[in-house]
Amino acid sequence: MEVMISNAEEGSCYDVTKEMNAIDATKAGVKGLVDSGVTKIPRCFVHPPEDVRKSSSMSTNINHQIPIIDFNGFESCRQSEVVNEIRKASEEWGMIRFHEQPQEAKAELYSRDPKERVKFFYGGVLMTKEPAIWRDTVAINLQDGKLGPERFPEVFRYGKFAIRSQTLSQQVHFSRSFHYMPLNLSCREEIIEYIKHMIKTSKTLSELLSEALGLRSDYLSSLECMETQALTGNYYPACPEPYLTMGTSNHTDPSFLTILVQDNMGGLQVHPQNQWIDVPRLQGALVVNIGDFMQVKNLTVSVDYNVPLMNKNDFDFLQQYFQLIINDKFRSVEHRVLAQEFRPRGSVASFFFPSTANKFKPYGVIKELLSDNPPTYRETHLAELMAHHYMEVHSAQNTKD
């Protein structure tokens, strides 16, 4: 790969944008860097030491235990099988394999365009004031209507390709363009299956959450909080200097709910009470994150690495929308992923969002929740929130300029 990358020790004329763009231009992501044999990570990936510090705990303190819900027996004894199917599908059908196929196959999807509904990119959202993360992502946005199966990424695998009857020049052409063979195109159907499973699981969770809020079990689903979905397949290549960077920086999810399937590498940590603790790797388990529907964030710092899935305005707007509904009742947990030295790690995250179709539907705080907390928000509709938000973003930008 033809990228001149500086490393952390290099001198003062360092240009982070140039370096980030150079890696972007390879369309090969972090995995491309690793495959090219880097032994030092480029400087744009270097995070402040206080952010990287690997504090982890297997604390037995009850306050630090991560709740594990056993779905066995809930609804039907099929639940645990379903979870295993989901897990298997995410490993086998290709969100993770996508990243392990030849670079040429991935490069076609390489993009940072917010309008692109299926795309592959490295490092999270690249912002020069924040370091890149040691991660490649393939993202599928299902928010703006259905995507035909042809839009889903194909996953190719290497296959020996014997070319017999071509001339030499044709052979050269073939070996350049098709040195891998599509052996597994069925993954598109499997993605659709996977999404169906996720929707079903999200419905079950929505019922449980409604009940946890003391509401009827169909309450949240009646608000259409989880109508649409975005999927990301994350790939964390083994990192030569894991103590300098992060797989995923500290964040809360900009969703209503996130369902995560992780492989058995570990590295996911949560920060419930002043301490980072490891999320245990449990066979057949899904990790469920409550999204940002309760934290008031400063507009200028609320940009998350998931933003390529939507533009910043929509993202901020959705955050306000969530707060509106739940009236600051639940806490979304901060989490992060540590970079790993020896083996790559894979995860698939499904983010659930409300439908943006109901732009003028009036929304307010759920009345049943008002007894505990006074209302923090008056009733409004999505279009109004959006307009308000645009004004705030623009004034924030003007102040910066």
Ligand X SMILES: O=C(O)CCC(=O)C(=O)O
Amino acid at 58: M
User: What are the beta bridge partners of residue 234?
Assistant: 137, 347
Least separation, in Å, of the C-beta of 400 and ligand X?
A: 26
* Residue facing Fe ion at closest CB distance: 253
User: Which residues from 44-103 bind ligand X, rule CB under 6 A?
Assistant: none
Q: Which two tokens stand for residue 200?
A: 């079903």
Instruction: For 136-171, give the DSSP string.
Output: EEEEEE-TTS---GGGSPP--B-------SS-HHHH
Exactly one of 253, 304, 314, 316 binds Fe ion (CB under 5 A); that residue is 253
304 binds Fe ion (CB under 5 A): no
Q: Torsion angle of alpha carbons 99, 103, 107, 108, nearest 10°?
A: -90
Residues 6+ apart with CB under 8 A from 218: 207, 210
Per DSSP, the three-state class of 227 is coil
Residues 398/387, Cβ–Cβ less than 8 Å: no
Residues 131/124, Cβ–Cβ less than 8 Å: no
User: What are the beta bridge partners of residue 110?
Assistant: 120
Exactly one of 340, 347, 350, 356 binds ligand X (CB under 6 A); that residue is 347
Residue closer to Fe ion, measured from CB, 262 or 356: 262
Least separation, in Å, of the C-beta of 230 and Fe ion?
A: 12
* Sole window of 38-46, 106-114, 117-125, 260-268 interacting with ligand X (rule: CB under 6 A): 260-268
Choosing among Fe ion, ligand X, none, which partner's interface includes residue 323 (Cβ < 5 to 8 Å by kind)? Answer: none
349 binds ligand X (CB under 6 A): yes
Least separation, in Å, of the C-beta of 344 and ligand X?
A: 12
Choosing among Fe ion, ligand X, none, which partner's interface includes residue 337 (Cβ < 5 to 8 Å by kind)? Answer: ligand X
User: Which residues from 261-300 bind ligand X, rule CB under 6 A?
Assistant: 262, 268
Ramachandran region, residue 267 (left: φ > 0; alpha: ψ -120 to 50; beta: rest): left
Amino acid at 285: A
> Which residue matches tokens 């909080």?
225
Exactly one of 260, 265, 277, 285 binds ligand X (CB under 6 A); that residue is 260
Least separation, in Å, of the C-beta of 305 and ligand X?
A: 8
Exactly one of 106, 197, 335, 389 binds ligand X (CB under 6 A); that residue is 335
Choosing among Fe ion, ligand X, none, which partner's interface includes residue 260 (Cβ < 5 to 8 Å by kind)? Answer: ligand X
Residue closer to ligand X, measured from CB, 6 or 289: 289
H or E stretch at 90:
helix 79-92
141 binds ligand X (CB under 6 A): no
The rounded distance, in Å, linking the Cα atoms of 5 and 10 is 10
Residue closer to Fe ion, measured from CB, 38 or 338: 338
Residues that bind ligand X (CB under 6 A): 232, 234, 248, 253, 260, 262, 268, 306, 335, 337, 347, 349
Binding site for Fe ion (CB under 5 A): 253
